[in-house]
């Protein structure tokens, strides 16, 4: 009988709780998003985020237990997002996880949020086999990694400044769109005329696998200022912005496959929900004989399932402990959870 892991995600503006059992899969999961609460401020207000996590975490734990028909006594271990993220928000998940694990006398394990994203496509069917290249595109990170197994990650390239998600969010703000900007910009871009505006493709020919997106928002700002921004023009700019971000991501992902000689690409993180990005990658990588894997749409953005899953895999490597000091790591670097480096 394999272990049942309870996962708790609270690093930003989503409280995600899930139960995962190795060998059986995801038993249940629940999510509360704070998008509506933060939207009137145009972005995440950390203090409000923490307070809301406090309100949500226990009812959501009860909900997943009920849905999976599991009692707390049947839970074998608890995984929580230890970082990176907002300090106060992380503390809520960490304290809930440690208090519960202490009370139940079961192991606890802190999970790196990006490792959760990185492994989330393995929850999908079909799941990719190792090794693969991962394109990690969340709100705060844009990285290309070679993944040889759980904990076997090699950084191939990353953004030198803004993340792709940030480029979406900041450009959306300049276009007067709400938070979160990515989905709003993608929606507006649907009515835009492709090719009406051309934005720069930063670092496309840099001969490495790094990215830079900070110049893009300046270029968007210039377009916004230069043009009479009626709804159609804003849609045209949104379209150009999306095109620019996607082209860079797709071509760098292709280069990463060429560089590593691998054929499987896995896309993880919130921007991975973007339909245009998916179409472009499927086309480009399919042409080259490769395959692209994505998490289910609901597991692209933050969720508890990826934390329960990553926790279960780490626990299988005997990495759980009963040291209930909940030291969170708001600025944790993914490099620190790497077990093996490739040349």
Nearest Cα to Cα of residue 21 among 101, 75, 82: 75
Closer CB to Zn ion, residue 184 or residue 223?
184
Task: Dump the DSSP string for 118-133.
Answer: HHGGGGSSSPPPSSEE
**Can residue 84 be called a binding residue for ligand KG4 (CB under 6 A)?**
no
Of 1, 5, 2, which is closest to residue 68 (Cα–Cα)?
5
Closer to ligand KG4 at the Cβ: 65 or 184?
184
- If residue 83 lies in a helix (H) or strand (E), which one and from where to where? strand 77-83
Chosen residue from 15, 21, 138, 171 binding Zn ion by CB under 5 A: 138
Asked if 116 interacts with ligand KG4 (CB under 6 A), we say no
Q: Is 115 in the site for ligand KG4 (CB under 6 A)?
A: no
Binding site partner of 180, from Zn ion, ligand KG4, none, Cβ cut-off 5-8 A by kind: ligand KG4
Measure the CA–CA gap between 322 and 318, rounded to whole angstroms: 12
Q: State the minimum distance, in angstroms, from the CB of residue 163 to ligand KG4.
A: 7
Decide the pairing of beta strands 108-112 and 77-83: parallel
Cβ of residue 138: shortest distance to ligand KG4, in angstroms?
Answer: 3
268 and 135 Cβ atoms separated by less than 8 Å: yes
Instruction: Report the site for ligand KG4 in 163-182 (rule: CB under 6 A).
Output: 165, 168-169, 180-182
Question: Helix, strand, or coil here: 180?
Answer: coil
Among 5, 15, 138, 143, binds ligand KG4 (CB under 6 A): 138
Options 46, 87, 151, 183; binder of ligand KG4; rule CB under 6 A: 183
The nearer residue to Zn ion, 236 or 302, going by C-beta atoms, is: 302
Instruction: Name which of 182 and 320 has its Cβ closer to ligand KG4.
Output: 182
- Binding partner of residue 271 among ligand KG4, Zn ion, none, CB cut-off 5 to 8 Å per kind: ligand KG4
Give 234: exposed, middle or buried? Use CB within 10 Å, 0-12, 13-18, 19+. Answer: buried
Name the residue nearer to ligand KG4 (CB basis): 165 or 311.
Answer: 165
State yes or no: residue 301 binds ligand KG4 (CB under 6 A): yes
**Contact (Cβ atoms closer than 8 angstroms) between residue 169 and residue 139:** yes
Nearer to ligand KG4, 65 or 337 (CB): 337
What is the end-to-end Cα distance of the chain in Å, rounded? 39
| Cβ neighbourhood burial of 86 (10 Å; 0-12, 13-18, 19+) | buried
Nearby residues of 67 by Cβ (< 8 Å), 6 or more positions away: 27, 28, 30
**x/- track of binding to ligand KG4 for residues 246-285 (CB under 6 A):** -----------------------xxx-xx-----------
CB 245 within 8 A of CB 213: yes
Q: Which of residues 216-255 bind Zn ion (CB under 5 A)?
A: none
Chain residues that interact with Zn ion, rule: CB under 5 A: 138, 302
Chain residues that interact with ligand KG4, rule: CB under 6 A: 12, 117, 138-140, 165, 168-169, 180-183, 186, 269-271, 273-274, 301-302
């Amino acid at each position: 009988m394999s272990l049942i892991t309870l996962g708790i995600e609270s690093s930003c503006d989503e409280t995600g709780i899930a139960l995962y059992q190795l060998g059986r899969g995801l038993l249940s999961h629940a999510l509360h998003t704070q998008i509506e609460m933060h939207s009137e401020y145009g972005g995440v207000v950390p203090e409000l985020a923490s307070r809301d996590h406090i309100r949500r975490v226990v009812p959501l734990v009860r909900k997943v237990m009920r849905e999976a028909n599991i009692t707390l006594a049947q839970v074998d271990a608890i995984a929580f997002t230890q970082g990176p993220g907002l300090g106060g928000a992380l503390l809520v998940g960490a304290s809930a996880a440690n208090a519960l694990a202490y009370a139940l006398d079961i192991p606890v394990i802190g999970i790196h949020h990006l490792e959760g994203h990185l492994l989330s496509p393995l929850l999908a069917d079909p799941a990719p086999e190792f090794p693969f290249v991962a394109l990690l595109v969340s709100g705060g990170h844009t990285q290309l990694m070679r993944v040889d197994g759980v904990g076997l990650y090699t950084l191939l390239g990353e953004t030198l400044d803004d993340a792709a998600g940030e480029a979406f969010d900041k450009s959306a703000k300049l276009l007067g769109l709400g938070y979160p900007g990515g989905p709003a910009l993608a929606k507006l871009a649907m009515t835009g005329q492709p090719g009406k505006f051309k934005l720069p493709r930063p670092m496309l020919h840099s001969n490495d696998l790094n990215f830079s997106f900070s110049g893009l928002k300046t270029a968007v700002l210039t377009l916004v200022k230069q043009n009479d921004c009626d709804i159609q023009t804003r849609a045209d700019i949104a379209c150009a912005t999306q095109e620019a971000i996607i082209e860079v991501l797709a071509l760098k992902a292709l280069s990463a496959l060429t560089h590593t000689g691998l054929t499987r690409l896995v896309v993880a993180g919130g921007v991975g929900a973007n339909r245009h990005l998916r179409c472009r990658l499927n086309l480009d990588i399919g042409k080259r004989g490769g395959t692209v894997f994505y998490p289910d749409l609901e597991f692209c953005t933050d969720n508890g399932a990826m934390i329960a899953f990553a926790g279960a895999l780490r626990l299988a490597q005997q990495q759980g402990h009963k040291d209930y000091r909940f030291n969170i790591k708001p600025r944790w670097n993914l490099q620190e959870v790497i077990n093996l480096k490739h040349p």
